[in-house]
């Protein structure tokens, strides 16, 4: 796919789904295909591991079939290795490659990757140039407002990235201190939009249609939810209805349960019952976030060890009027 096709699809769909480590794995991406996701992305993946052909990493790059555009996100700070990894990703049939310049986890930043690349614009430009030159699929970047709140350089860095040839930039409207509670700085996202001529995707605090409308006021071409996608594939139609029109209604309990059970089955198919159920311990409660006694549900989930345990917990969720209730023991 060319950069022009990518941009056309992005401007039509106005919705890019995020990379989420520990969540946008192959089983969940299978679920997302069933919800007509226009774009989706892998979890962040180390460029060294991709370039070396590490078997665990290759598994993380498994792609579900579907009409969506599929991206893979890589992290690293070494231009040649990042280029090698991008070539592997292109050869696997991915539609685009995204470069992580937003992750604030120490394991990445202490090695110069993730958000720390934002503090070194020259190096960031070299990494991106090297990747852009090595592949013919579009390259995108996901950044924050800056490495820290004292160094908010997203507009300046965006110019560097545009010059280096990226097709689009996603801006998470917070700085790199890793505090999700901080409000999103819409003004600075707007500044990025006004600085570059490539599409900008707004990210941070997009959980509902109302948040989407607020984010679109910055002039971004598309929005990207984050935490709102976890255990909530319905966010795709919720955001789409506020972006493009059309009705949206919250799923009823039975639909939530059925989707959660399919997710469990896909996890077990992919990783076996033991590991699949381990992942489900943190995923299942996210499907029932607002339930009465949700904290008891979360505690109970930490004890499960089989598919049957997970199904028994789902049996204890009931709907009364508008409320979902977990019937604790």
Considering only the stretches 148-156, 201-209, 248-256, 270-278, report the one whose residues sit in contact with ligand FMN under the rule CB under 6 A. Answer: 201-209
Helix segments in the chain, DSSP class H: 3-13, 26-34, 47-52, 55-60, 79-91, 106-109, 121-134, 154-164, 186-195, 209-216, 235-244, 253-287, 294-301, 307-315
Token couple for 137: 């699929």
Size of the site for ligand FMN (CB under 6 A): 23
Q: How far is the CB of 24 from ligand FMN (least distance, A)?
A: 7
Does 102 bind ligand FMN (CB under 6 A)? Our answer is yes
CA 251 to chain centre: 22
Q: What are phi and psi of 139, to 5 degrees?
A: -115, 135
Does 226 bind ligand FMN (CB under 6 A)? Our answer is yes
Which parts of 265-324 interact with ligand FMN (CB under 6 A)? none
Q: Is 112 exposed, middle or buried (0-12, 13-18, 19+ CB in 10 A)?
A: middle
DSSP string of 126-150, one letter each residue: HHHHHHHHH-SS-EEEEE-S-SSTT
Q: State the CB neighbour count (10 A cutoff) for residue 258.
A: 13
Cβ–Cβ < 8 Å for 124, 98: no
Q: Which of 3, 225, 233, 276 binds ligand FMN (CB under 6 A)?
A: 225
**For ligand FMN, which is the closer residue by CB, 4 or 289?**
289
Active site residues: 103
Does 19 bind ligand FMN (CB under 6 A)? Our answer is yes
Does 206 bind ligand FMN (CB under 6 A)? Our answer is yes
**For residues 62 and 9, what is the distance between their CA atoms, to the nearest angstrom?**
23
Q: Which of 3, 38, 46, 73 binds ligand FMN (CB under 6 A)?
A: 73
DSSP string of 91-115, one letter each residue: HTT-SEEEEEE----HHHHTTT-GG
**For ligand FMN, which is the closer residue by CB, 128 or 253?**
128
Helix (H) or strand (E) segment spanning residue 306 = none
Q: Which of 209, 219, 228, 251 binds ligand FMN (CB under 6 A)?
A: 228
Does 64 bind ligand FMN (CB under 6 A)? Our answer is no
Token couple for 269: 């198919």
Q: Which residue's Cβ lies closest to ligand FMN?
A: 226
Does 43 bind ligand FMN (CB under 6 A)? Our answer is yes
Does residue 116 sit in helix, strand or coil?
A: helix
**For ligand FMN, which is the closer residue by CB, 22 or 272?**
22
**For ligand FMN, which is the closer residue by CB, 204 or 285?**
204
Q: Which of 100, 130, 175, 218 binds ligand FMN (CB under 6 A)?
A: 100
Q: Which of 22, 255, 289, 328 binds ligand FMN (CB under 6 A)?
A: 22
Q: How far is the CB of 160 from ligand FMN (least distance, A)?
A: 18
Considering only the stretches 95-103, 151-159, 262-270, 308-316, report the one whose residues sit in contact with ligand FMN under the rule CB under 6 A. Answer: 95-103
Considering only the stretches 127-135, 199-207, 260-268, 304-312, report the one whose residues sit in contact with ligand FMN under the rule CB under 6 A. Answer: 199-207
Query: How close are the terminal C-alpha atoms of the chain, in Å?
Result: 53
Token couple for 184: 């999103």
Q: Which of 31, 103, 115, 222 binds ligand FMN (CB under 6 A)?
A: 103
Cβ–Cβ < 8 Å for 1, 95: yes
Q: Which of 1, 7, 21, 159 binds ligand FMN (CB under 6 A)?
A: 21
Considering only the stretches 12-20, 78-86, 157-165, 285-293, report the one whose residues sit in contact with ligand FMN under the rule CB under 6 A. Answer: 12-20
Token couple for 112: 């110069």
Binding interface with ligand FMN (CB under 6 A): 18-23, 43-44, 73, 100, 102-103, 142, 172, 180, 203-206, 225-228
């Amino acid at each position: 796919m060319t950069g022009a096709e990518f941009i056309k699809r992005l401007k039509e769909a106005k919705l890019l789904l995020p990379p989420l480590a520990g969540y946008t794995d192959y089983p969940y991406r299978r679920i997302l295909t069933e919800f007509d996701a226009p774009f989706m992305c892998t979890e962040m993946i180390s460029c060294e591991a991709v370039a070396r052909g590490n078997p665990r990493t290759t598994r993380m790059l498994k792609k579900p079939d579907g009409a969506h555009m599929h991206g893979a996100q890589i992290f690293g700070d070494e231009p040649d290795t990042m280029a090698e990894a991008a070539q592997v990703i292109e050869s696997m049939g991915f539609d685009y490659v995204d470069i992580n310049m937003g992750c604030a986890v120490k394991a990445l930043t202490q090695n110069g990757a993730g958000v720390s690349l934002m503090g070194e614009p020259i190096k960031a430009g070299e990494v991106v140039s090297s990747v852009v030159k090595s592949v013919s699929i579009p390259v995108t970047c996901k950044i924050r407002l800056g490495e820290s709140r004292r160094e908010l350089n997203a507009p300046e860095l965006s110019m560097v990235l545009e010059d280096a040839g990226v097709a689009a930039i996603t801006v998470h409207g917070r700085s790199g201190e890793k505090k999700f509670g901080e409000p999103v700085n819409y003004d600075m996202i707007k500044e990025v939009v006004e600085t570059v001529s490539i599409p900008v995707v707004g990210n941070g605090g997009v959980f509902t249609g109302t948040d989407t409308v607020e984010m679109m006021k910055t002039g971004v071409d598309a929005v990207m939810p984050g935490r709102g996608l976890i255990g909530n594939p319905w966010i795709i139609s919720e955001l789409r209805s506020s972006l493009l029109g059309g009705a949206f209604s919250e799923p009823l309990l039975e639909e939530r349960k059925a989707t959660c059970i399919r997710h469990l089955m896909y996890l077990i198919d992919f990783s076996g019952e033991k590991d699949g159920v381990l992942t489900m311990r943190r995923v299942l409660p996210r499907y029932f976030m607002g339930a009465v006694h949700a904290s008891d549900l979360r505690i109970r989930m930490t004890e499960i060890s089989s598919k049957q345990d997970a199904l028994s917990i789902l049996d204890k969720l009931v709907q009364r009027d508008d409320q979902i209730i977990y019937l604790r023991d």
